[in-house]
Amino acid sequence: MDVMEAIRTRHSVRKYQSKQISRADLETVIEAGLRAPNAGGRQGSIIIGVNNAELAEKLGKLNIAKFDRSALLGAYVSDEQPSIIDDHSIKSGFYGAPSVCAVFGPEKFLYSIADAFCCAENMTLAAKSLGISSCIIARGEETFDNPEGRKILEDWHIPEGYTARCFVLLGYIDGAEPSPKKIHEGRFRIID
């Protein structure tokens, strides 16, 4: 699959089979993240791949434990792949994905968040090229800001001064691929 095909056909997926992705595919997706553009060439992001559905589920619950969905009442994401904003009965911010990568960055670096999301985007496209579905997930910082989360960071040897910036869910889609999204009007100009 060439890059433009991956870009055109990638969707955020929020319905997953329980089938696990292979370790080799997870390593390829992580490599894509590690090779992303990064401010100042610092390579400050750290990626932890969790190929363990039970742990992913636990993290997914922590991910929305503090999230106030009522603040986003009226917001709309997708009918075909409803998000936690669309469907308040969803109990995990990770939607049952069997694998997840957490992307960490330095707390005190101006481009830490931008770097992390560059990693995440590379990862979603690499996943697509391997036939794996994905979804970028926010609320990294708050996911680990609790006793259980802090213990996980310790177990993973996350360096002092680092915080989670985002997650990338990985797995095989349960059901049909969502239909292609229309690009909103007026979002670009070319100046000659």
Q: Which of residues 163-182 bind ligand FMN (CB under 6 A)?
A: 181
> CB nearest ligand FMN: which residue?
12
Q: Which one of 14, 38, 50, 100 is in contact with ligand FMN (CB under 6 A)?
A: 14
Q: Which one of 36, 47, 118, 135 is in contact with ligand FMN (CB under 6 A)?
A: 135
What's the order of all strands across the beta sheet hosting 162-171?
A: 46-50, 99-106, 162-171, 133-137
Largest CA distance in the chain: 55
138 contacts ligand FMN (rule: CB under 6 A)? yes
C-alpha to C-alpha distance for 95 and 88, rounded to whole angstroms: 12
Q: Which one of 100, 137, 153, 164 is in contact with ligand FMN (CB under 6 A)?
A: 137
DSSP string covering 144-161? TSSHHHHHHHHHTTPPTT
Tally of CA atoms within 13 A in the half-sphere of 173 that contains its CB: 18
CB 152 within 8 A of CB 144: yes
Binding pattern to ligand FMN, positions 74-113, x when CB under 6 A? Answer: ---x-----x------------------------------
| Residue nearer to ligand FMN on the CB measure, 30 or 116 | 116
CB 190 within 8 A of CB 34: no
Q: Which stretch binds ligand FMN (CB under 6 A): 6-14, 35-43, 46-54, 184-192?
A: 6-14
Which residues sit at the interface with ligand FMN, rule CB under 6 A? 11-12, 14, 77, 83, 117, 135-139, 181
